Structure 1
Amino acid sequence: MATTLFAQENDTLTVKNVKVLVVKDSLSPKEPYDPLAPSRAAFYSAVIPGLGQAYNKKYWKIPVIYAGMAAGVYFYIQQDNDYDRFRNAYKRRLAGYTDDEFYGTGTTPTISSDRLIDAQKSAQKNKDVSIIVSLAFYLLNIVDANVDAHLGQYNVSEDLSLQPSLNYNSVNIQPNYGLSLRYSIK
């Protein structure tokens, strides 16, 4: 069986469309780095507490923030009411009345006037602590949103590992403890 082939040289320019498949490298970040994301998240949390956590897609932190702030406000209101009760009772005693809720039924008071002064001081101190707790949760909300936005853009890959190691010394048969840091580029 014989086959004949004919070839002809052509001096014309030809253009070819070549399709190229581009594969993303596993070490490149999934999203482009946004240097303003941490400040944006902190600003959102400063305007509306929890909005920075929503921006960072950490929705589970929002109820924790509001629960902490609400607890501080709740205890502030409770201590403010107690402070007013103690103060009003003390002022009535100074005016000469014996009908306040802490006086009791007999001729001698069940709670003394000095104790009412101490109770007022204690309630005032607890009010201040409640305000500090609420403000601390508010500030923690802002700091958390900022730090979380920073760390959200950090490249975390399986190529970096840290693991303990245990080797035996062949001379005296004693263990050598160590820590190995392995970094591999694929």
Structure 2
Amino acid sequence: MKLKISRILCLLMVLTGISLYSKAQGKAVILDADTVVVAPPDSTVQAVLQSADSASQVNKVKEVDMKPFKPNPTKAVIFSAILPGLGQIYNRAYWKLPIVYGGFMGCIYAITWNNKNYKDYSSAYFDLMYDVKNNPDDPKKWSESWVSIAKKNGYEPEKFITDTRWQDNIKRRKDYFRRYRDLSIIITAGVYAICMIDAYVDAQLFDFDISPDLSMRLEPMVMPKTSFSERIYGLNCSIKF
């Protein structure tokens, strides 16, 4: 009797362990006292496991597909031509942006300032020539453009209108500001072209490898005595690259 009871207890313990194990893997189906079949996990557990597997596979694919960034020189030139500095942004050379936009701001200021002075002196010169020809003795009809310039330089307009040297001086000033306005425009175009060239070269040499083993060494040197010279002591300079 005791032997039967012990066998029944052992069987119950085995069945309990199998049922606990099946909670993680699936449901246990007991067909009879000696046969236990573990059913597969339900649909919810399968969906979770499949989504986890798919997510891990996607991450692996992304890790494999990731490549180091290398800019395209043609795209860099096109972007720089569309907007100055855009090529440098594409090449990830952000430190060059202050230089690019600082240069353009300086060029635009030079164009604006020289153009304003050119217009002022040009208008003053042509108005002065008109008044010299048509109204030399009628100060009320004189143009304010050249009168203000005369007063600014400390001259009386009555003397200014009869002095040919100052007429030539206004003409020279007009030509001076026009020349530097045109030069500023040319420099601006040059800066624009330099930005495009820099974007292309920077993209072309983006992955150019410079070996870190660049060194210069100074070593003592001794040249042995020969039949033509004495022993010489010195320094040997060697550059390794």
* TM-score normalised to structure 1 length: 0.70
Q: Which amino acid aligns with 1:42?
A: V
Q: Which amino acid aligns with 2:149?
A: F
Partner of 2:103: 68
Q: d(CA) in 1 for partners of 2:239 and 2:183?
A: 46
Q: Say if 2:220 is the partner of 1:161.
A: no
Counterpart of 1:113 (choices 164, 167, 177) is 167
Q: Say if 2:77 is the partner of 1:42.
A: yes
Q: d(CA) in 2 for partners of 1:38 and 1:162?
A: 32
What SS does the corresponding residue of 1:169 show, helix, strand or coil? strand
Structure 2: stretches of 5+ with no match in the other structure: 1-66, 132-141, 225-230
Partner of 2:58: none
Q: Say if 2:141 is the partner of 1:90.
A: no
Q: d(CA) in 2 for partners of 1:89 and 1:133?
A: 28
Q: d(CA) in 1 for partners of 2:193 and 2:102?
A: 14
Q: Which amino acid aligns with 1:50?
A: G
Q: Which has the higher contact order (CA 8 A, sep 6+)?
A: 1
Partner of 1:175: 234
What SS does the corresponding residue of 1:174 show, helix, strand or coil? strand
Deviations 1:35-67 (A, max 9, x none): x72222122111111111111111111121111
Q: d(CA) in 2 for partners of 1:149 and 1:95?
A: 58
Larger of the two Rg values belongs to structure: 2
Kindly state the Cα deviation for residue 80 of structure 1 after the two structures are TM-superposed: 0.9
Kindly state the Cα deviation for residue 131 of structure 1 after the two structures are TM-superposed: 0.8
Q: Say if 2:68 is the partner of 1:31.
A: yes
Q: Say if 2:113 is the partner of 1:78.
A: yes
Q: Which has the higher helix share?
A: 2
Partner of 1:52: 87
Partner of 2:190: 136
* CA 1:164–1:135: 2 relative to 1, 3 Å: farther
Partner of 2:30: none
Deviations 1:149-186 (A, max 9, x none): 1221112343x43423333115224214332425xxxx
Deviations 1:11-58 (A, max 9, x none): xxxxxxxxxxxxxxxxxxx837x5x72222122111111111111111
Kindly state the Cα deviation for residue 136 of structure 1 after the two structures are TM-superposed: 1.8
- What percentage of aligned pairs have identical amino acids? 24
Q: d(CA) in 1 for partners of 2:182 and 2:143?
A: 31
Q: d(CA) in 2 for partners of 1:177 and 1:108?
A: 77
* RMSD of aligned Cα (Å): 2.4
